[in-house]
């Protein structure tokens, strides 16, 4: 009897070992509900990696680009890089006594973000330059790394690097498993993102495209460094995204993922290429589990015109409410 029992246990173990990986591999996107959005993604991957398919793409052409804010991680109640800038202003305030009466800093220090940003782009750029320039690239990397390791989201109390979308993490892994190279193409600062994207998304620094300020080579101290200057170099948003892709990647994407009007040109550029392509927009329509916003939001604006173009061009629109079983890894 003992011998029979052991044999049965052995057979069960062998069966589990044999079927376990297959069960896992059968659904590479477990946090996605079955539906048109998931099917569009899976179908695209299958046909572009099947050598017998007329839509087959060799690995070198399997380039997928992702916006960051609102596509890979949350962007409400404000862009996380803006919240970084606000924290940085507070940290630097003791060195700038004039900020107590000088806008936009006076309002920021009082916690009045609305008044601080009333000056529009000019005010925002002034905040950005004092918090992002005047230091070496290595110094800035450390500042960002220290902040991202401890700063927490004002609503959830979670680290910002925990405010990433679990379904998109699965999608990144699924694409890479099938020979796709994944890139971030964001309006956010390229050197704000690079210190942490590999750890959080599995996307290394050299595969991050973003906005930047000018830098200068400086060896006056005897050790060469790159100094960050208070001047804009490139804005990687809207029409800038295809330009950034061309300059940094050198290949047109075959798959592009965004969530707002700022991503329109990236998706158009992707669709204009030859062969199979996949264009996807994340629609924030889940007020209960995340946020619900669209045409009227100044952050991640998803206009009615963009929705209309998505339908006309056959782009896939992901409903966070209907297509995702969970939003964040901690759900």
pLDDT score, position 44: 98
**4 pLDDT above the threshold of 70:** no
Question: What is the extent of the structural domain holding 229?
Answer: 30-76+157-323
pLDDT score, position 9: 52
CATH of the domain at 35: 3.40.50.1000
Least confident stretch, 37-51, 119-133, 165-179, 229-243: 119-133
The count of structural domains within the chain is 2
**Residues 52-107: tens digit of each pLDDT:** 999 999 999 999 999 999 999 999 999 999 999 999 999 999 999 999 999 999 99
Do both 245 and 319 map to the same domain? yes
**Confidence label for 120 from pLDDT (cuts 50, 70 and 90):** confident
Do both 86 and 71 map to the same domain? no
**Residues 196-213: tens digit of each pLDDT:** 999 999 999 999 999 999
Q: Dihedrals φ, ψ of 189, to 5°?
A: -70, 130
**15 pLDDT above the threshold of 50:** no
The answer to the question of residue 18 being in a domain is no
For 249, the 3-state DSSP assignment is: coil
Do both 91 and 66 map to the same domain? no
Do both 284 and 319 map to the same domain? yes
99: which residues sit within 8 A by CB, 6+ positions away? 89, 93, 105, 106, 109
Do both 244 and 287 map to the same domain? yes
The answer to the question of residue 7 being in a domain is no
**Residues 238-290: tens digit of each pLDDT:** 999 999 999 999 999 999 999 999 999 999 999 999 999 999 999 999 999 99
The answer to the question of residue 20 being in a domain is no
């Amino acid at each position: 009897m003992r011998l029979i029992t052991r044999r049965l246990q052995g057979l069960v173990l062998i069966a589990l070992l044999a079927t376990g990986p297959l069960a896992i591999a059968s659904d590479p996107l477990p946090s996605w509900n079955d539906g048109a959005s998931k099917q569009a993604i899976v179908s695209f991957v299958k046909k572009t990696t099947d050598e017998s398919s007329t839509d087959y793409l060799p690995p070198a052409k399997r380039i997928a680009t992702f916006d960051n804010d609102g596509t890979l991680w949350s962007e409400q109640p404000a862009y996380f890089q803006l919240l970084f800038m606000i924290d940085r202003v507070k940290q630097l305030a003791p060195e700038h006594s004039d900020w107590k009466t000088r806008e936009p800093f006076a309002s920021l220090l009082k916690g009045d973000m609305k008044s601080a940003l009333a000056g529009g782009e000019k005010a925002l750029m002034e905040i950005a330059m004092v918090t992002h320039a005047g230091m070496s690239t290595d110094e800035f990397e450390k500042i960002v790394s220290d902040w991202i390791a401890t700063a927490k989201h004002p609503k959830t109390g979670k680290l910002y690097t925990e405010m990433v979308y679990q379904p998109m993490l699965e999608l990144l892994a699924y694409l890479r498993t099938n020979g796709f190279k994944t890139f971030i193409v964001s309006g956010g600062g390229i050197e704000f993102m690079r210190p942490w994207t590999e750890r959080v998304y599995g996307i290394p620094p050299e595969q991050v495209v973003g906005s930047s300020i000018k830098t200068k080579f400086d060896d006056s101290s005897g050790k060469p460094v790159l100094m960050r200057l208070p001047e804009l170099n490139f804005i990687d948003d809207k029409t800038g995204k295809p330009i950034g892709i061309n300059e940094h990647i050198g290949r047109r994407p075959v798959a592009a993922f965004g969530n707002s009007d700022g991503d329109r040109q990236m998706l158009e550029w992707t669709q204009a290429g030859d062969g199979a392509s996949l264009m996807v927009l994340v629609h924030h329509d889940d007020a209960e589990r995340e946020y619900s916003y669209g045409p009227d939001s100044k952050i991640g604006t998803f206009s009615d015109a963009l929705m209309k173009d998505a339908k006309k061009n056959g782009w896939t629109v992901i409903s966070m409410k209907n297509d995702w079983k969970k939003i964040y890894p901690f759900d």
